[in-house]
Amino acid sequence: MVEVVGSNPIVPTINFILLDIRMPKITLPDGGQKEIPDNSTLYEVARGISNSLAKVAVAGKINGQLKDLSVVIEKDSNIEIIKKNDVEGIDIVRHSFAHLIGHAIKQIYPSAKMAIGPVIKNGFYYDIDCEKSLNIDDLSLIEKKIKDLTKQNYDVVRKVVSPKEALKVFSEREELYKQEIVHEIPEGEEIALYYHQEYIDMCRGPHVPNTKFLKHFKLTKVSGAYWRGNSDNKMLQRIYGTAWDTKEDLDNYIKKIEAAEKLDHRKIGKQQDLFHFQDEAPGMVFWHSRGWIIYNILKGYIRDITLKNNYLEVNTPQILDRRLWEKSGHWDKFGDMIFTTNSEKKDYAIKPMNCPAHVQIFNQGLKSYKDLPIKISEFGLVHRNEPSGTLHGLMRARQFVQDDAHIFCSENQLSEEIKNLIKMTFSVYKHFGFENISIALSTRPEKRVGDENLWDKSENILKKVLSENVDSFSIQDGEGAFYGPKIEFSLTDSLDRVWQCGTIQLDFSMPSALAATYVDESGNKMTPVMIHRAILGSIERFIGILIEHYGGNLPFWLSPEQIMIVNITDKHVEFAEKIEKVFKDNGFRCTSDLRNQKIGYKIREHIIAKIPYVVIIGDEEVSSNNISVREYDGTEHKLISVSEFIAELSSKK
């Protein structure tokens, strides 16, 4: 801008007024900085770095926050471009595939109503309200339609609107579930609508900018799911799918799914007569004799460990007054999951966990600092009102037993107790054959109780102990319990799936809320610190993990039937019964199959049932007073002495 001043028209005086036209400065992950033109989008930044990066970019981060490539960078920022093969990029691809389910469904079934479609581990799903009951053939039709849409390479257009505008859009389309979501968003907040040609969806995003990124996917199954997980709401249909960056990754995952289906614990449980489920008790196990043997062996093993480590085993009531759960904080933070009942005008909770009850035991009688640490354990039967759509055999149940324990100690005892718990947990997992164990520290969640200084202290204590006792650990921000941070132990099984099992949780809040105290060296009343710990987590779930990890071929010491004796003819029955008694007297779980069936048929049947050892009794065995043995893996031992075989098996107990 130029301004002319002065009275001399021939020789004017010119002053230059400089406007602030400084361009935003961005900082890239490698530390490099550059200025960019005003109103530059993340895509333009990617293209400015290189055309090859722009071709594989699906989103970006502005100051650590994921954003669509169409978002404008308004000020100096740290910028990262997310590629389609990055971990976060693959999740964006999966999320976009969920929207494509919506696009395809509305073209095939125009009257269907769309609910929600989030990303899940390795995939995505979409809940829909559709008059037609969908089956596997319908999934193939939807898959074909999705492939047709992706081939069009159309742009996915993002538009930011107000809740009022969004409500108008979804009202015109009679999308009842979207309207319900919009009604809960305060006026003044912005909503992102995503336009997939004629189909419009609503999402926080980000999403891919074009369907050319959506290539390698498969719809895997359809199931029922209540709207918002509430059984009082309508049952919707949930379509699941998986998506990957390459065809090779997709094929490998499909192979793993197929392998997992063959090893599904529900299928093996039925084949081996271990347990079953039925509609009259959703999410609750009917244990059969063989399965109950496994359950009690597992329970006995953990009991031996806790007793050796000076735990006091207790048993607490199933039903406790609502007021106790309000004091502990569970009613407010965990209320939707609690089964309730009432009697004599009082409300009660069927316990979803054991910790408040263990505090009640600690509170009985005066405790001294000399008594600490006090370790209370319980095989606590708990109930949680899990949504029916999430129930999955032993892996996700409404009734289960935790190998639960709580340590009440002083603050200066914390490090040693947590160190011992870490050591104990690793030892247990190794005993079950799990070597690949990952550790994570879960920090304060958004909804929590307790002073922030206590959270700082708790997290720092756990970080220090972990740093001194494990090779490595990750941080899971915001994933702690509402009363304290926790250490999580995750196991990798034979199919490379990760299962989170054990936890160690540090709690300065609940003992205070429930008035737990002890007398210190000076005679003052002090509040103990409480460590919550479980190694297996849920016994039911851990058995499910073991069954799938071993494909039903459990370690010898866990097998419900360790030895099966089969006779060739009736004249061998007496000797077979004698041998059975010898094995039982030596503490082995042994059964005889003395049916008048061909020996090959009986052997094959018991091998299919994955019984570790089949002992064969015929003429040679009777005359030599020996036995012949066929192992599950096909190894055969001809005419060995019973004492020799028992000595060999004793090391495997």
pLDDT confidence tier of residue 326, bands split at 50, 70 and 90? confident
State the average pLDDT over residues 511-532.
94
Could you please report the per-residue DSSP string of 467-508? Answer: HHHSS--EEETT-SBTTB-EEEEEEE-TTS-EEEEEEEEEES
Half-sphere exposure of 331 (CA within 13 A, CB side): 14
pLDDT confidence tier of residue 2, bands split at 50, 70 and 90? very low
State the average pLDDT over residues 407-422.
96
Confidence check: pLDDT of 101 > 80: yes
Residue 257, pLDDT score: 87
Lowest-pLDDT choice from 7-11, 381-385, 433-437: 7-11
State the average pLDDT over residues 454-460.
92
Could you please report the per-residue DSSP string of 559-613? Answer: -S--EEEEESSGGGHHHHHHHHHHHHHTT--EEEE--SS-HHHHHHHHHHTT-SE
Residue-averaged pLDDT of the chain: 91
pLDDT confidence tier of residue 375, bands split at 50, 70 and 90? very high
Q: Sign of dihedral through CA atoms 291, 294, 299, 302?
A: negative
Nearest Cα residue to 312 out of 355, 354, 358 = 358
Nearest Cα residue to 536 out of 351, 402, 421 = 402
Residue 22, pLDDT score: 62
Q: List, for residues 14-56, the tens digit of each pLDDT value.
A: 454 444 556 788 899 988 888 888 889 999 999 999 999 999 9
Confidence check: pLDDT of 280 > 80: yes
Q: Contact, 386 vs 283, CB < 8 A?
A: yes
State the average pLDDT over residues 362-380.
96
Encoded amino acid at 537, one letter: G
Residue 389, pLDDT score: 73
Residue 382, pLDDT score: 94
The pLDDT > 70 percentage for the chain reads 97
Q: List, for residues 113-142, the tens digit of each pLDDT value.
A: 999 999 998 999 999 999 999 988 899 999
Encoded amino acid at 525, one letter: K
State the average pLDDT over residues 212-218.
95
Q: List, for residues 562-577, the tens digit of each pLDDT value.
A: 999 999 999 999 999 9
Nearest Cα residue to 239 out of 218, 222, 220 = 222
Lowest-pLDDT choice from 21-25, 425-429, 599-603, 645-649: 21-25
Q: List, for residues 49-90, the tens digit of each pLDDT value.
A: 999 999 999 999 999 899 999 999 988 889 999 999 999 999
* CB-based burial label for 646 (10 Å; 0-12, 13-18, 19+): middle
Nearest Cα residue to 495 out of 259, 267, 269 = 259
Q: Contact, 166 vs 193, CB < 8 A?
A: yes
Domains of the chain: 25-81 (3.10.20.30), 88-255 (3.30.980.10), 275-316+353-550 (3.30.930.10), 561-650 (3.40.50.800)
Residue tagged 């406790």 (tokens): 320
Confidence check: pLDDT of 1 > 50: no
Tokens representing residue 7 in the block? 């009275």
Q: Contact, 637 vs 629, CB < 8 A?
A: yes
Tokens representing residue 632 in the block? 């599950």
Return d(Cα 205, Cα 119) in angstroms, integer.
Answer: 11
Q: Contact, 552 vs 268, CB < 8 A?
A: yes
Encoded amino acid at 188, one letter: G
- In 368-451, which residue ranges form alpha helices assigned H by DSSP? 414-431
- In 282-413, which residue ranges form alpha helices assigned H by DSSP? 289-308, 322-328, 330-334, 355-362
Q: Contact, 506 vs 456, CB < 8 A?
A: no
Q: Contact, 1 vs 17, CB < 8 A?
A: yes
Return d(Cα 227, Cα 164) in angstroms, integer.
Answer: 23
Rg (CA), the chain: 32
Q: Contact, 617 vs 565, CB < 8 A?
A: yes
Nearest Cα residue to 92 out of 218, 250, 213 = 213
Return d(Cα 595, Cα 597) in angstroms, integer.
Answer: 5
Confidence check: pLDDT of 386 > 90: no
Any idea which residues carry the catalytic annotation? 355, 384, 402, 404, 406, 486, 532
pLDDT confidence tier of residue 11, bands split at 50, 70 and 90? very low
Nearest Cα residue to 43 out of 203, 200, 213 = 213
Task: Give the phi and the psi of residue 401 in degrees, each rounded to 5.
Answer: -115, 130
Q: List, for residues 458-508, the tens digit of each pLDDT value.
A: 999 999 999 999 999 999 988 888 888 999 999 999 888 899 999 999 999
pLDDT confidence tier of residue 5, bands split at 50, 70 and 90? very low
Confidence check: pLDDT of 147 > 70: yes
- Facing residues of 82 across strands? 59
Half-sphere exposure of 318 (CA within 13 A, CB side): 10
Half-sphere exposure of 477 (CA within 13 A, CB side): 0
* CB-based burial label for 30 (10 Å; 0-12, 13-18, 19+): exposed
